[in-house]
Structure 1
Amino acid sequence: MFQPIVDMRNGALIGYEGLIRGPQGSPLHSPFHLFSVARRCGLGLQLESLCSEIILKKFVELALPGRIFLNISPDFLSKAGFAYREKLAQLEQIGLAPRRIILELTENQATYDYEQMRDVLKQCRDLGFQIAIDDLGEGFSSLRLWSEILPDYVKIDMHFIQGIDRDPVKLQFVQSIQQIATKSGAVSIAEGIETADELRLLQELGISWGQGYHIARPHAQPASAVAGELVGRIRHNTALTSAGNQRGFNLPTALKLLRIVPIATPDTSTNAVYTTFAANPELAVMPVVRNGVPLGIINRFQFIDRLARPYQRELYGKRSCTEFMTPSPLTAEKNTPLQDISLMIVEGESHHFSNGFAITDQGRYIGVGSSQEVMREITQMQINAARYANPLTQLPGNVPINEEIDRRLTAGAAFNVCYIDIDNFKPFNDVYGYLRGDDIIRLTGDILARYCVPGMDFLGHVGGDDFIILYQSGDWEERCNGILAAFASAIPAFFSAEDRRHGGYVSEDRRGNKVFHALVSLSLGVVKIDASRHLSSYQIAAAAAEAKKQAKTIAGNSLFIERRALK
């Protein structure tokens, strides 16, 4: 069986994971039972060897494109003595190059001899194979294995992928894995993607590749291309993500700070670098690049200071300029958010601030960026955020809310607008005081945030006791009902025992008349937005306000969904 693996940025087919099933209808059909029984019978290594041969031969026979991910245990690689040259000869015989094979290390038992494992994998890599860790987070010691062998690919276990759009713990785990993968140069692969919401959120997180039933099921004769509908959906999500930040403020990336400057190579002499600096008075740094890979950065002031010392020009003038470079420069992909780069600068060594950083496109050098400019951009972003955020909840206010609506419309995204209003809030302020009223506002903001998917749903504070959520998560109605239940559970604590007993409180109206008000509740009005209808943010705001008005005609905590199309 073969299950496709796709590029989460453009829907391109990367290759397939090769899978094995036992005899149909037998207890050994499940690979788990098949391999468990084989190991108990002392035939585990023989079974693995046969499975590898079957998968590779079938892969070639079907003329499948791309790469093949081959499950293989560390035990098999080390104890069985992976016959490197023999395996290479077999591959040549069937017409399959090792560079198309990724050895996917599975963990059915703990790995202890890491030194031997590194030696084995080095020989595999020398032959052209690449290495992946399978089911990260599920095995005995997968994080230790990751740090020991530094794989080319990391496959995140499906437990952490399924339901990630509804589970903040899984979300945090995958975010952390993605950050480590980025820093270690590994490609992250999500396994077990089963819904459109999981796919979209994983794309938001920057996961590189993916596989799962939502993409394609395993098949003995799989398609040699990704379904056009899925490719369109993946590219649509990518366009939406690239259009800006879904939390309301634009997130500039390294590309915004890209500067093209003269570069040196290891063959460039020190005298040539000096001549370049002399001809370019504004040039602060000069990267040293070999075959598209940034090796180091030469800082103008350090270079001139050192060369000005006695006999330095005579000693080093004709030598390689690498004598003067700071090796292992800070490097960022062009789409890396500036917030991430600022963190890299702060956590890195002090010379990174003066040297700046190299910018790459899929690992190849394209230019440099200035650390000072990063800090300037970050400061400006913080000023803008403070200018437009609500001071009480720190949530985006009207300006970013409207910008976000326009951005989603421009990206052609379908979404749902939920307008939230607190009922009987003014009389509550009159009776209990505005400080307690502020507490309810903050409580409401916290509850709403709990029922939004980070990176997918957008939460804003219109002002006063009004909030807006732009829902893109598929289970938005369930989330709305969760908001109402959480608010109903929390709000009684804000009232006296007597008011709770009576189910409300009394306040005076403008004419001095005593009026009974029910306990504070929430009204949610939802409007479904079809971006293809060329609506404006003003039309959407008006429709959402009308839906909220309808919700407020329902007593208590209420949800009204406008099912009619917007006119």
Structure 2
Amino acid sequence: MTEMPLDEAECLRGIMARGELQPVFQPIVDYRARALLGYEALIRGPEGSALHRPDELFAAAKRCGLALELEHACREASLRAFAQSNLSGRLFINVTPGCLCDIRMLNGHTRELLGELGLAPNRLVIELTENQQITDLPGILDVLRHYRGRGFQIAIDDLGEGFANLRMWSELRPEFVKIDKHFVQGIADDRIKYHFVRAMQDLAEICNASLVAEGIETAEDFACVRDMGIACGQGFFIARPLASPARHLSAAVVDALGQSRVAVGPGGGAAGKLPTARTLLRPVVPVELGSSNELAIARFEADPTLDVLPVVNGSHPVGLINRHSLIDRFARPFRKELYGRKSCELFMDQAPLIVDQHATIQELAMMLSFAPRHYLFDGFIVTANGRYLGIGSSHALMATITEMQISAARYANPLTQLPGNVPINEHIDRMLVSRQSFVAAYIDIDDFKPFNDTFGYRRGDDVIQTLARLICESCDERLDFVGHIGGDDFFVIFQSADWEMRCWQLVCDFSEAMQRLLGDDEAARGGYMVENRRGELTFQTLPRLSVGAVRIDAGECDSHREVAAAASIAKKQAKKRAKEAASHRSPGSLFVERRRIGCAPVAAAKLLN
């Protein structure tokens, strides 16, 4: 590496004047669309110099009092390189608080530069970094609101690294919030990090923001972030920053997206089993990039039902033309003569909502809720591996969601609000179709009826609701499906590797909870006195759990009926063991069917008998 010249300031000015700043771009994947959302612009100094690394470059600029000059030069270099590379999607530009309020940021130069480069403001995301103390938060909020009013979107960087961005989040309501890589790296194996990010996700849903998980470096962390429902991801596993970055997802990322576990809860399941973007697809012949505005108007006039017209470059979608916006523009005097023969690119939305055909209805709804309001009217473009298929409307999406919500409410258990028999069966069938191994656990309360008869149905409902809460707490919400069959019977579909330990923990936790529901004397004795049918007082043990579990491997069963039959047999064995162990004050029983479950007709008949 070459040595730094004695005059750092002169060297820095020379680098900026000669255009030696080297922008690189790191792709950001949109999990819900299964495509690239856009790129973050990063900067490097001259190759082989002491200022090649960005930390050294900006540290030298700070020492020389040239930090703002360098930041402005970096922004312009990044915008020019992004436009020259003709990259699609959004561009995330890092801006410090000091630069944001600088007069050179507010004098209209950025708007003029975007016009010169042909970049629409809605494709730019101002990413506010917290690497310097914020001294004028109200002023920064005003400036950001100004930019948002001009079409720019806002992102807050490194959530979790400092405290100022938490206040920024609550007051500004940015469109994107980036999670600091500390909380993302190793999240697949760190429950504390997982719950921290889960809390951030809850905040994001309340604030209508999309989370971007930074620092994803392994397939395991990529899958964990995806299964949590985080909107976007960024990191070396997806792609490294390059001057000429990837324009499509790599084979490794596509493979990781395709190997998702069967999702838990509404919207989970294999493609085609539940509604997806392809379900809402309407095939519309697109226009090619470079086609004239006259052609676009002719298409709208020929089809009164056509509200938007997709624009493609080859087979890849690049824009969307809104019917009313285009016609309104050409209704003004001389507009047809001035712009009729010009490219339709002039008036199209250059950042339309693009989704993969396998995106679920819930993912679509989340994307629309986080997107600018005009997407509700324009709808979305549906693709397959980045290639145009058709368009979908928000109206059709809302109708489908309403239908699904009515169906979900019909099949939920009214006491616990957990999924009932129909959703349980549907989830089991999804697991079987996906050929995923899982464990089916049938959970039942022993001696519940005497308790219910003695203390009343309200106390009985308390016991059932307590058990529902404990089951949910003992399961991994990313992997395990919890259902309520009815009464005191529950069903869990485990994908967690440590499912057996979770079952034993549940048995012990329920035993402790039952002791807390009664008085100290009953808890000490392990039961209570109850009157039998002959009017005699007898001792009754406290309710305990019996759990029957059976492992189902790929190809072993054909339907949920066979799985339920096998789990029911296991539960009966657990209850039998519980009776034998009752005198030993056992907290409950877990029976695991270790034998392989055969599902040929003869074997199935044996199970049912």
TM bracket (short chain): 0.5 to 0.7
In the alignment, the residues of structure 2 paired with residue 53 and residue 419 of structure 1 have an alpha-carbon distance, to the nearest angstrom, of: 66
Aligned to 2:18: none
Aligned to 2:547: 524
Normalised to the residue count of structure 1, the TM-score between the two structures is 0.64
Question: Which of residues 350, 354, 358 in structure 1 aligns to 2:380?
Answer: 358
1:112-123 superposed matches below 5 A: 112-114=98-100
1:98-113 superposed matches below 5 A: 112-113=98-99
Aligned to 1:157: 181
Aligned to 1:34: none
Question: Is the partner of 2:319 in helix, strand or coil?
Answer: strand
1:1-400 superposed matches below 5 A: 74-75=58-59, 112-114=98-100, 137-138=160-161, 156-161=180-185, 162=187, 163=189, 167-173=194-200, 188-189=212-213, 191=215, 196=220, 200-204=223-227, 205=229, 234=256, 237-238=259-260, 240=262, 245-246=267-268, 252-261=275-284, 263=286, 268-269=292-293, 273=297, 275-281=298-304, 283-287=305-309, 289=311, 291=313, 292-299=317-324, 303=327, 312=331, 315-320=334-339, 331-334=353-356, 335-342=358-365, 353=376, 355-359=377-381, 361=383, 367-400=390-423
1:449-468 superposed matches below 5 A: 449-468=472-491
Provide Cα deviations, 1:249-297, integer angstroms capped at 9, x if missing partner. 9653333212233556686336851x4334224x140236475332541
Aligned to 2:14: none
1:492-503 superposed matches below 5 A: 492-496=515-519, 498-503=521-526
Task: Give the C-alpha shift of residue 105 in structure 1.
Answer: 11
Once superposed, what is the RMSD of the aligned Cα atoms? 5.9
Change (3 A) 1:345 1:236: closer
Question: Which of residues 402, 410, 426 in structure 2 aligns to 1:403?
Answer: 426
In the alignment, the residues of structure 2 paired with residue 387 and residue 550 of structure 1 have an alpha-carbon distance, to the nearest angstrom, of: 33
Question: Is the partner of 1:294 in helix, strand or coil?
Answer: strand
Aligned to 2:498: 475
In the alignment, the residues of structure 2 paired with residue 211 and residue 348 of structure 1 have an alpha-carbon distance, to the nearest angstrom, of: 23
Question: Is the partner of 1:396 in helix, strand or coil?
Answer: coil
- Count of residue correspondences: 480
> Does residue 486 of the first structure (1) align with residue 509 of the second (2)?
yes
What is the identity, as a one-letter code, of the residue corresponding to 1:565?
Answer: R
In the alignment, the residues of structure 2 paired with residue 85 and residue 231 of structure 1 have an alpha-carbon distance, to the nearest angstrom, of: 33
Task: Give the C-alpha shift of residue 562 in structure 1.
Answer: 3.2
In the alignment, the residues of structure 2 paired with residue 77 and residue 142 of structure 1 have an alpha-carbon distance, to the nearest angstrom, of: 24
In the alignment, the residues of structure 1 paired with residue 92 and residue 55 of structure 2 have an alpha-carbon distance, to the nearest angstrom, of: 5
Q: What is the percentage of aligned positions where both structures have the same residue?
A: 31
Task: Give the C-alpha shift of residue 206 in structure 1.
Answer: 5.2
Task: Give the C-alpha shift of residue 244 in structure 1.
Answer: 8.6
> Does residue 448 of the first structure (1) align with residue 486 of the second (2)?
no
1:424-435 superposed matches below 5 A: 424-435=447-458
Is the Cα contact below 8 Å between 2:276 and 2:361 reproduced in 1?
Answer: yes
> Does residue 416 of the first structure (1) align with residue 463 of the second (2)?
no
Structure 2: which 5+ residue stretches go unaligned? 1-26, 36-43, 75-84, 118-124, 130-156, 239-251, 579-585, 599-609
Structure 1: which 5+ residue stretches go unaligned? 13-47, 58-69, 87-96, 217-229
Task: Give the C-alpha shift of residue 444 in structure 1.
Answer: 1.4
Task: Give the C-alpha shift of residue 399 in structure 1.
Answer: 1.9
Aligned to 2:566: 543
Question: Is the partner of 1:299 in helix, strand or coil?
Answer: helix
Question: Is the partner of 1:531 in helix, strand or coil?
Answer: coil
Question: Is the partner of 1:558 in helix, strand or coil?
Answer: strand
Aligned to 1:90: none
Is the Cα contact below 8 Å between 2:470 and 2:506 reproduced in 1?
Answer: yes
Task: Give the C-alpha shift of residue 539 in structure 1.
Answer: 3.1
What is the identity, as a one-letter code, of the residue corresponding to 2:160?
Answer: G
In the alignment, the residues of structure 1 paired with residue 534 and residue 497 of structure 2 have an alpha-carbon distance, to the nearest angstrom, of: 47
Most deviating of 489-498 and 366-375: 489-498
Task: Give the C-alpha shift of residue 442 in structure 1.
Answer: 1.6
Is the Cα contact below 8 Å between 2:529 and 2:537 reproduced in 1?
Answer: yes
Aligned to 2:589: 558
Question: Is the partner of 2:323 in helix, strand or coil?
Answer: strand
Task: Give the C-alpha shift of residue 385 in structure 1.
Answer: 0.6
Normalised to the residue count of structure 2, the TM-score between the two structures is 0.60
Change (3 A) 1:332 1:455: farther
Provide Cα deviations, 1:392-426, integer angstroms capped at 9, x if missing partner. 11111122212212211222222222221112111
Most deviating of 360-369 and 427-436: 360-369
Provide Cα deviations, 1:322-369, integer angstroms capped at 9, x if missing partner. 89979688725235443354466667777655x341225488765432
Is the Cα contact below 8 Å between 2:50 and 2:56 reproduced in 1?
Answer: no
Task: Give the C-alpha shift of residue 377 in structure 1.
Answer: 0.4
Question: Is the partner of 2:491 in helix, strand or coil?
Answer: strand
Change (3 A) 1:520 1:202: same
Is the Cα contact below 8 Å between 1:203 and 1:237 reproduced in 2?
Answer: no
